Amino acid sequence: MKSRISGFYKLLPEQRLNKIASLLELSEEEKKIFTGEEGFTVKQADRMIENVIGYLPIPLGIAANFKVDGEDVFVPMATEEPSVVAAASHAAKLTYDTGGFTTSYSGSIMRGQIQVTSMVDTYGALARIYENKEEIIELCNAQDPTLVAFGGGAKDLDVHVVQGESEKMLVVHLLIDTKDAMGANAVNTMAEAVSPLIEEITEGKVVVRILSNLADQRIVRARATFEDPFQGNQTTMKKFMSANHLAVADPYRAATHNKGIMNGVSAVVLATGNDTRAVEAGAHAYASISGKYSSLTRWELKGENTLVGTIELPLAVGLVGGATQSHPVAKLATKILNVKTAQQLAGIIASTGLAQNFAAIKALAGEGIQKGHMKLHARNMASVAGAPDDQIDQVVEHAVKEQRFGFHDMKHFVELLRNNDPNK
Ligand code: MEV
């Protein structure tokens, strides 16, 4: 299967779905889940959260042209933001012929934190925790025999001394391999279960016991080469590198640069029913792991025209548990990705983030982001301004021609077309 489909963006939604369905052998029932004719119900929503009155549909697009670790893949992205899917597809196309994205994974180790307070001998307590490590780990693993059977479970622990405002505390970190689950439930269950034992060992009082979203032992890296992406234009290349250097050095720019990366990352995380907030918290915390908030990507020039991009971030995502399986659209999104492990999913998500970043910097180094963005945004605005479906394209044409995209401009174009409509 090839993920490169020329003119995919020109098709109608139904034609795109049919194309993907035929390539990935989706059934008629599965197609109806994507279009909303079947699938997600209020009843299901009511089982997922509290006080449900309905649900919020978000557009689901497919980024084309991705090749990750030698495999072509269509990337489902759920986002309300125009330009994001187009930008990812564009960047993926530019690196496709040089091999696409290559990824690596540190493993699925999550940290469960147990905060211990009110000890008389903090360092003595720390030593006693290490002395009783085997018993603590055993008790953790007794909570989740299924995870242990799959090769996961608590593997180790470390203990941190933290100076609080009024006392010295210990924080025990349980290091738990959550395998193909995001792992919050497994980690939190273990952390809560061993807390009485920790209190006994330390003669202290446990307060917080929960996972850390700074998943620094669940790191994904992706790399891609862009061969002459600006057709020899050295001015654009210099601007690209300069924008990249600013993001590395300046936290104000890094926040926006990383937001652009997360446009891609979060869209795939959401499409697959994973926890966007967990991933975002982890990514931004990791971006400041050196003590100074910086970029999650690095761009390097090899020779004059070859750009090598890399991304490194924690990704606590899974394929089992939570909404990943209970939400029919998320389940199908995973089917489209054709991934069997959390590692593969994380590799694709990191690649999407890197692609997104390339496209954003390219736009910033060139004509700016507004030209392309406003054109896509205009469709939305035209509809809000009252354009009937069959006139949206004409309204957008007017807006692009005159470079006027305000709400009142759109209303004006809608009026103009209405007044010129021979059938009115
Ligand atoms: C907009 O959603 C994302 C960008 O601001 C990212 C960036 O500036 O790198 C375009």
Kindly report, residue by residue over 110-133, the tens digit of the pLDDT: 999 999 999 999 999 999 999 999
Q: What ligand 1 atom has the least distance to the C-alpha of 247?
A: 9
- Of 67, 327, 362, 373, the active-site residue reads 373
What radius of gyration do the chain's Cα atoms show? Answer: 25
- What's the whole-number mean pLDDT along residues 380-385? 88
Q: What ligand 1 atom has the least distance to the C-alpha of 253?
A: 8
pLDDT bin (cut points 50, 70, 90) of residue 406 is confident
CA-CA-CA-CA torsion sign (221, 225, 229, 234) = positive
Computed over every residue of the chain, the mean pLDDT equals 95
Neighbours of 151 (CB within 10 A): 8
- % of residues, the chain, pLDDT over 70: 100
C-beta separation of 177 from 155 below 8 A: yes
Q: What ligand 1 atom has the least distance to the C-alpha of 84?
A: 2
- Of 71, 81, 203, 280, the active-site residue reads 81
Per-residue model confidence (pLDDT) at position 162: 98
Q: Which residue in this structure is represented by tokens 């995001």?
A: 182
- pLDDT surpasses 80 at 373: no
Kindly report, residue by residue over 173-231, the tens digit of the pLDDT: 999 999 999 999 999 999 999 999 999 999 999 999 999 999 999 999 999 999 999 99
Per-residue model confidence (pLDDT) at position 291: 97
Kindly report, residue by residue over 18-68, the tens digit of the pLDDT: 999 999 999 999 999 999 999 999 999 999 999 999 999 999 999 999 999
Rounded to 5 degrees, φ, ψ at 301 are -100, 130
Active site residue 275: yes
Ligand 1 and 225: CB distance under 6 A: no
Per-residue model confidence (pLDDT) at position 368: 87
- Predicted TM-score (pTM) of this structure: 0.93
Which tokens belong to 41? 């119900």
Q: Which residues pair with 176 in a beta bridge?
A: 110, 154
pLDDT bin (cut points 50, 70, 90) of residue 403 is confident
Domains of the chain by start residue, with CATH: 8-106+218-366 (3.90.770.10), 109-211 (3.30.70.420), 371-419 (1.10.8)
- pLDDT surpasses 90 at 420: no
**Cβ contacts of 343 within 8 Å, gap of 6 or more:** 105, 108
Ligand 1 centroid, distance to 127 Cα (angstroms): 48
Q: Which residue in this structure is represented by tokens 């990383």?
A: 258
253, 259, 357: which to mutate for ligand 1, most atoms within 8 A of CB?
259
Per-residue model confidence (pLDDT) at position 55: 96
